[in-house]
Structure 1
């Protein structure tokens, strides 16, 4: 279930409240400059769907976004609890950063927690299957997939390099509850 918790972006990082209503979350994220949509597959996907099948099932939504945002490539990223690089990937994503490209993710299955720093708050947005999040270039954020990640996501990019981050060096990500703690 999609959920939004908000925290002060200054110590002691007090929680400001939580939203569970999808429309209210969409409105709150729009105020922070972030797009949140809900997508449905254009075809039934088996549990062992290949990347090409996943991309085909969401082709009309992907095409619409490509036209709107000028995205030139997309891929499918899968992480499971037994992925050999899960700890290293988690550590890289957990540091606050920005991109020169939009960060566009659609969760086919599973989920994760995006932390968006905007308007004097940290917006901790739990994205789950069916959620598309679009963070415009320059949005300060980080992401936590938990200690035991389980998600499949479609990623869209403008630049051929794909995911390239500029880390802020701010330790704020260490002060807000992690995904595992937030999901408990």
Structure 2
């Protein structure tokens, strides 16, 4: 997991929004606001044991699996994605173990009220405390909308990287 201060610039929420230069946030700073994380690779031999150890340490009794995808959420996908990105709190800890895909948890740093962005990928286990303002979004790699718009033939399309790759793939270029 990579943690850094969100740049607060307008634009697509699915983009990294990392400042230039980047302003990383340390594990100690996250611990100070009760945000905890572990790295448990999804393909490790004792993943279940590691997850069980964290669950026991924190007193968790239940687990469920949620697929945040068009397949998993169906007609509710767009509504859910928008809802996840609305700043909110929970009355219980939010625990997320990322099995596949990637995205961003944005959390409010108290008392400064700055956004910290947590870039999560498979194997990241994240605990967001009850009462902390936060939001979530998938990143741009999780856009399963096909790009089926036509790009009409022209001198520019002859130089399009996809066109050039196609020509290389059939050994014409």
Could you tell me the TM-score, scaled by structure 2's length?
Answer: 0.62
Q: Offset of 1:142 from its aligned partner?
A: 0.7
Q: Partner residue of 2:48? A: 59
Q: Partner residue of 1:153? A: none
- Structure with the higher fraction of residues in strand conformation: 1
Q: Partner residue of 2:22? A: 17
CA distance in 2, matches of 1:7, 1:80: 24
- Gap runs ≥5 in structure 1: 45-56, 151-184
Please tell me whether residue 90 in structure 1 is matched to residue 81 in structure 2: yes
CA distance in 2, matches of 1:92, 1:7: 19
Q: Offset of 1:135 from its aligned partner?
A: 0.8
Contact 1:81 1:148 in 2 (8 A): no
Report how many residues are paired: 130
Contact 2:41 2:124 in 1 (8 A): no
Q: Partner residue of 1:35? A: 36
Q: Offset of 1:72 from its aligned partner?
A: 1.4
Pairing of 1:2-151 with structure 2 (within 5 A): 2-7=1-6, 15=19, 17-19=22-24, 25-41=26-42, 58-82=47-71, 83-84=73-74, 85-119=76-110, 120=112, 121-146=114-139, 149=142
Q: Structure 1 stretch 70-79 or stretch 25-34: which is displaced more?
A: 25-34
Contact 2:33 2:109 in 1 (8 A): yes
Contact 1:100 1:137 in 2 (8 A): yes
Q: Offset of 1:116 from its aligned partner?
A: 0.4
- The structure with the largest alpha-carbon Rg is 2
| RMSD of aligned residue pairs (Cα, Å) | 3.0
Q: Structure 1 stretch 24-33 or stretch 124-133: which is displaced more?
A: 24-33
CA distance in 2, matches of 1:146, 1:29: 21
Contact 1:26 1:37 in 2 (8 A): no
